[in-house]
Amino acid sequence: MGLFCRSCRLLLIQKYLLCLLGVSFICGMILSFSLFLDTDVTGGLISFNKRSLSKKFSHLVPSTQTSHNISNNKKQPWHIRRDDGLQYASDGKFPPPNYNAHVFYYPWYGAPDVDGTYLHWNHGYLQHWEKKEASRWPQGRHKPPVDIASTYYPELGPYSSRNPHIIDQHMRQIRTAGIGVLAVSWYPPGQADDNGRPSDDLMSTLMDAANTYQLKVCFHIEPYKERNASNIRQNLEYIKRQYGSHPAMYQYRLGNNQPRPLFYMYDSYLMSNSQWNQLLKPTGTLSIRNTDLDAVMIGLIVEESHKRALLSAGFNGFYTYFASESFTYGSTTRHWGTLATFARANRMLFIPSVGPGYDDTRVRPWNHANSKNREHGGYFEQSFKSALSTNPPIISITSFNEWHEGTQIERAVPYKKDGIAYLDYLPQNPDYYLDIARSYIFKLKRLKVKG
């Protein structure tokens, strides 16, 4: 009986110790996991803080993905990426917008129900500059709604950028991704590219919609006809007068200065430094510096020499735009560390542009050399990782809806008809690239808090 009691006591002690060890292990795991994820609970939402090719460079021209004709449109308020350890609400709430995450947005699309005709979806094939080579490739224009100027097909169909429902859906998608700022492609009033119509009158509508979703808007100024220092200043005056007081107007604070509007200047290299000096140097004859037009001016870096040219021109920083790895010096991710170091040393902003892939062969059918396979999200993730490794002040995404170049993160669906088969995001859902963006934008937020 004594031996039995002793055995019972030993057994009970063993069980007790095992229980203690088990509880300790579980508690330790929970504590470690919570510390690792840096959990933040806000407003009932649990979050874990874990276009075109430049004409000058059109001569710089690996495999494409398989098209599918299988629909997978299962509705999920927020798709959960388990590998990120992120948990999302299913009650319609959004993650907080990160105003250091910008996405390039194009308001140039048209459809018959709103615009009387298709715009941009019917973009023509661009001809190769060598006549003999050009003869090998398709000519003419695309014929929507089946035949559109994109290798992917939008879930919303070939839409009009003026359709209020489309605008609302776009703002919801952008906000769901955790993006905070739309960098909207902009031409002055009365001007447009060769395949669209003037869209400046749409800006107020876009800004109102953005404001509804707590998003901000900045201007991505295109190389419009006869762009020069004088009319850029006039256009900055116009933008300030027309939109400067809108609550959705994005402003960025440089150092201890007052917040100022930020402008991306696409193809900035097309203007000489002497022209930019007039506008961006304090002593320039048309200078905006230390005036009510002063702004954070971001130029495009294409060649290595552009970083010093942009510095001497008076720019506040530079961005890389292109989503095709190695297409330009600026879009080559192995150069981003050097560019970031140069920017910090010269009190400039380096804004790397990340993208999900690149395929413009429905517009430039001869340009397969610059196509970049999406690798089922792998290309986008690697691009984000390269950008985050430079501890950037801002990350830009190319793009939300540049469908011609296949850089869009907007929702796309499988589509096949009349012998035309489009690429898609299968086996993932249509919101897959919005999900990837959101997961890395959370990391950008945590990075900025630590930095």
Which residue bears the tokens 């224009």?
A: 141
Best CA proximity match to 221, nearest among 210, 234, 211? 234
- Rounded Cα–Cα distance for residues 348 and 338 (Å): 13
For 295-348, the pLDDT digits (tens) are 999 999 999 999 999 999 999 999 999 999 999 999 999 999 999 999 999 999
For 202-238, the pLDDT digits (tens) are 999 999 999 999 999 999 999 999 999 999 999 999 9
Report, in this order, helix, strand and coil percent for the chain, each rounded to 5.
35, 15, 50
Q: How confident is the model at residue 256 (pLDDT cuts 50, 70, 90)?
A: confident
Q: What number is the average pLDDT over the span 245-250? A: 98
| pLDDT (0 to 100) of residue 448 | 57
Q: How confident is the model at residue 55 (pLDDT cuts 50, 70, 90)?
A: very low
pLDDT at 242 over 90: yes
Indicate the range of 6-20, 132-146, 341-355 predicted with least confidence: 6-20
| pLDDT (0 to 100) of residue 92 | 59
pLDDT at 265 over 60: yes
Q: Mean pLDDT in the chain?
A: 84
If one compares 87 and 439, the residue with the highest pLDDT of the two is 439
Q: What are phi and psi of 177, to 5 degrees?
A: -80, -5
pLDDT at 249 over 50: yes
> Using an 8 Å Cβ cutoff, are 183 and 399 in contact?
no
For 66-84, the pLDDT digits (tens) are 333 323 333 333 333 333 3
Dihedral (CA of 243, 247, 249, 251) sign: positive
Q: What number is the average pLDDT over the span 121-141? A: 95
For 363-372, the pLDDT digits (tens) are 999 999 999 9
pLDDT at 119 over 60: yes
If one compares 21 and 370, the residue with the highest pLDDT of the two is 370
Q: What are phi and psi of 239, to 5 degrees?
A: -60, -40
pLDDT at 377 over 70: yes
pLDDT at 6 over 70: no
Indicate the range of 25-34, 155-164, 433-442 predicted with least confidence: 25-34
pLDDT at 30 over 60: no
Residue 270, both tokens: 């097309």
CB atoms within 10 A of CB 397: 29
Measured between its terminal Cα atoms, the distance across the chain in Å is 67
0.75 surpassed by pTM: yes
If one compares 156 and 14, the residue with the highest pLDDT of the two is 156
> Using an 8 Å Cβ cutoff, are 448 and 98 in contact?
no
| pLDDT (0 to 100) of residue 52 | 41
Q: What number is the average pLDDT over the span 249-278? A: 96
